[in-house]
Amino acid sequence: MNTVVAKLQRQFQDYLVSLYQQGFLDNQFTELRKLQDEGTPDFVAEVVSLFFDDCSKLINSMSRSLERPENVDFKQVDSGVHQLKGSSSSVGARRVKNVCISFKECCDVQNREGCLRCLQQVDYEYKMLKTKLQDLFNLEKQIVQAGGAIPQVNIN
């Protein structure tokens, strides 16, 4: 029984480490995990799901703004990017945040092509992250069901 839990914990740890290593997550995600306790057991899941909802909404609206090349509302895009950057940095979605930084630059110079490319990248990144985090949360559930505790993993 204990070995199953240990194995799962090990798996969880390695997976989480890999996410950090690959740059999907950064320190802020660690901070988020810290805020999760007995009183708020699903805090992280809730925050990230909100984030992903936010992402999809913002991406949709930005995509609409960038749709017609002659009538691009860069202000709106800019505001969207700003929001996205803020959200992603709040949850620690590093790759998304980095794309947002480039996205903002494109927006500042009003480069539609660049913006579109960034938008695509953002979309890809957030979806990727969503899948990854889903797997992570599944692992967590498995550990909890097996009666173990989720290990506290602090990562550089």
* Binding stretches for another protein (CB under 8 A): 13, 17, 20-21, 27-28, 31-32, 34-35, 37, 39-40, 43, 46-47, 50-51, 54, 79, 82-83, 86-87, 89-92, 149, 151-156
Q: Which is nearer to another protein, 8 or 47 (CB)?
A: 47
In the complex, minimum distance from the CB of residue 27 to another protein, in angstroms, rounded to a whole number: 8
Q: Which is nearer to another protein, 61 or 89 (CB)?
A: 89
Tell me the C-alpha distance between 46 and 119, whole Å: 24
Residues 6+ apart with CB under 8 A from 93: 24, 25, 29, 51, 87, 125, 126, 129
In the complex, minimum distance from the CB of residue 137 to another protein, in angstroms, rounded to a whole number: 16
Enumerate the β-bridge partners of residue 25: 93
Q: Which is nearer to another protein, 70 or 149 (CB)?
A: 149
Tell me the C-alpha distance between 14 and 108, whole Å: 39
Q: Which is nearer to another protein, 106 or 150 (CB)?
A: 150
Could you count the other beta carbons within 10 Å of the beta carbon of residue 76?
15
User: Which of 141, 42, 35 has the alpha carbon at shortest distance from 92?
Assistant: 35
In the complex, minimum distance from the CB of residue 8 to another protein, in angstroms, rounded to a whole number: 15
Q: Does residue 27 contact residue 92 with C-beta atoms inside 8 Å? A: yes
Q: Which is nearer to another protein, 116 or 146 (CB)?
A: 146
In the complex, minimum distance from the CB of residue 89 to another protein, in angstroms, rounded to a whole number: 6
